[in-house]
Amino acid sequence: MRQTGPVTGLVEGDGRLADVAVEAVRRGNAVRPEAADLAGALAEGGRARLLYLHGPGGIGKSVLAEQVVRLLLEGDPIDADADAVAARLVRIDGRELAPTPDALRERLSGLGPRAVVVLDTYELLDSLGPALREELLPALPADVRVVLASRTPPEPAWFADPWGAVLVVHRVGPLDAATAEEVLRRRGVEDPDLRADLLAWADGLPVALALGAAAGIANPGGFDVADLDRALLDVLTAGELRGADHDVLAVAAVAPFVDRRLLAAVLPAVDALAAEEWLRGLTFTEQVGRSLALHARIAELVTSALRATEPEYDRELRLRVVDHLAERALSTEPHLIADMHDLAGGSAGAFVREALRRFRLDDVRPGDVEAVRAHFSQPGDGPYADRFERWLREAPHHVIVVRDRDRLAALALWATPAARPQLAGPDPVVEQWARYAARHDPHGGVVLLTDVILFTPPEHWFELLAIGNTAMLVRAGLTRLRVAYIAHDARAAGDLAGGPAGQVAAFGGVRVADLDVEHDGMAVHGYRIDYGPEGVVGAARDLARAALSEREIAVPELATVERVRRALRVHHRPDLLADAGLVAVDGTVAERAAATRAHLRDAVARAFDAELPGDRLLRDVIELGYLDPDVGHHRAMRQLHLSRATYFRRLGEAVDRLGDALAHRTD
């Protein structure tokens, strides 16, 4: 990365430009790695003349734009004189400009050679898009570059000729962990434990890092998450929530997506069409198919505040959304099952969405047969490879394909008794299972998952199965799935940790001898999962409703919870832990810290029942996130396969439970 020099200041318009990127660094922002590539695209000889940066509020669009401009102008060999460089930058803030063509035309008049225009907060000026494309930009000199920074992505007209030929679009994402940590160091956060907590809370959002650093420096023993969340919400929404409909905003935050159907079902007294249009007009909503969703961090902040101030209303809204999603899943949208799980505090939907950032569904490709042959390379593998090759060549629609970029990650063979693959000859597993289904499950709603290949390491298996299962439901059109038959290679019958056998164990399936198949050197064990009379959708709905109805709303005594939270955050700092106030003991700093650690460990053992899966998860979150010196929040999220929002929700529950256990200790 290019090193930067001294700073003398920055003013907008035709004032003096002095090292824009370094000014950002001085304010505590590390240079983003992508800045150099984007500047290169705009540089003399590069194809681009327009750069469109977009992303949610607080993600660092303005700082990245400044860094791109700095590198672009610094790299120009023609103008070495600082005054000449300064004259080439025109920086326009949409918050300070009337959204009229005349106002913008005035700011763009008289541009010098090779000028660079930064149009920031462009979402407030997007009504000027047609005027920009049709009148203002065509009138600019050919060597001018324009950088637009907006909360909203470019409208389709930007991609049309001629502008599409000279346009680069970049979605600005969160900072990577290394850059985020560098930002905190630059802002004076020296304590490594505090940095780790702030990194986990901020999740790569630059404005959150700035707020967190200020709070952490002011309160080195720990920071109040609720206070920071409120401050961050104010910054990210930039006043757009003034006068907002509380109920509509709450539903938009709680639900995985929002459309007028959902709003009408959950809030029958609200004008669903008007509410949908209001949400569409916010700069922190995004289109998800034909629906809308709040940006993830906004939704998380709103729901956190809702749970803290109106927990019963939060639960009631979630119950209404669950019921609505169940109705839709039973009609035409079976993929909504995972989202129902999330509403009850799970993470299946988020898990699938996170997995889809790396893995993607695809169709069968010609090279897949060779990949299968390479996978089945051991003695005795021939019949299994032959079977997969038949399906890939003759019935590709019945093969679920998941890829890791261009590499195969998983293949799954599916059918139903009514929808069987059109193969040149009968498949022994499908034929035997279809006969069994006709006798034992004549009600229908049966899916046959006849084999799976997982090409990735075991840590990704459940991600792939989650993606594949959802795809299978959609492909098969089984909105009322009641029973699943699953095959597992008999040669690995003892391996219940991964693949289909792991799924069977996780979901309560049982081995059925009549589903075992031996044919022409191939042997599979068959398992049956029964989701109940209302099928997998009804089971998911009932599970979500039960979890929400049983959620404990009572809040433990605040002082104890806050002391526990502070003690956990400084667990590896004996000097601070000794004075956490959890135990009344005398002695040296080391002795008091050791007594507090023992007190916390004892409380963890009493607060969580190791026999209950939910309690085990809460215990693991506390132990990995706080008590284990070698893990911490980031690694804990990965080890527990939890999204950031779910992890911190569970962490809050666990701390409350721990505080309650200490507050009611009866030694």
DSSP letter string, 535-577: HHHHHHHHHHHHHHHT-------HHHHHHHHHHHHTTT-HHHH
The residue with tokens 């200490």 is 662
Q: What is the mean pLDDT of the chain?
A: 80
| Cα distance between residue 565 and residue 658, in whole Å | 9
Partnered with residue 407 across adjacent β-strands are 404
Most confident of 48-52, 237-241, 632-636: 48-52
Cα within 13 Å of Cα(352), Cβ side: 20
Mean pLDDT of 77-83: 47
How does residue 557 score in pLDDT terms, banded at 50, 70 and 90?
very low
Task: Read off the pLDDT of residues 139-155 as tens digits, 9 standing for 90 and up.
Answer: 888 888 999 999 888 88
- Taking residues 84-113, report their average pLDDT: 81
Asked if pLDDT for residue 560 goes beyond 80, the answer is no
* Alpha helices by DSSP H, 406-498: 428-440, 461-476
Looking at per-residue pLDDT, the higher value among 195 and 557 belongs to 195
Summarize the confidence of residues 119-130 as an average pLDDT. Answer: 87
> Per-residue pLDDT for 181 more than 90?
no
Q: Parallel, antiparallel, or unpaired: how do β-strands 116-120 and 89-93 relate?
A: parallel
Superfamily of domain covering 9-171: P-loop containing nucleotide triphosphate hydrolases (3.40.50.300)
The structure tokens listed for 85 are 């460089």
Q: Please give the pLDDT value at position 210.
A: 84
Q: What is the pLDDT of residues 312-333, one digit of tens each?
A: 899 899 999 999 998 888 877 8
Q: What tens digit of pLDDT does each residue of 588-629 get?
A: 878 888 888 888 888 888 888 877 777 888 888 888 888 887
Residue 525's φ and ψ, nearest 5 degrees, are: -95, 140
CATH class of 359-541: alpha beta
Q: What is the pLDDT of residue 12?
A: 35
Closest CA to 407 of 443, 439, 362: 362
- Compute the average pLDDT of residues 298-317: 87
Q: What is the DSSP string of 346-372?
A: --HHHHHHHHHHHEEEE---TTHHHHH
498 vs 373 pLDDT, higher one? 373
Concatenated DSSP letters for 242-272? TT--HHHHHHHHHSSSB-HHHHHHH-TTS-H
Instruction: For residue 248, give both structure tokens.
Output: 């509509």
Contact 157, 133 (CB under 8 A): yes
Residue 187 has pLDDT above 90, yes or no: no
How far is Cα 499 from Cα 635, in angstroms, rounded to an integer?
A: 24
Confidence (pLDDT) at 350: 64
What is the percent of the chain where pLDDT is above 90? 19
What angle separates helix 632-640 from helix 192-202, to the nearest 10 degrees? 50
Domain boundaries, the chain: 9-171, 177-223, 246-356, 359-541, 558-663
Asked if 147 and 51 touch (Cβ cutoff 8 Å), the reply is yes
Which tens digit of pLDDT belongs to each residue from 500-554? 455 566 566 788 999 999 988 889 888 898 887 778 788 788 878 887 887 554 4
Please provide the DSSP assignment of 298-332 as one string.
HHHHHHHHHHHH-HHHHHHHHHHHHHHHHHHHHHT
pLDDT at position 84: 52
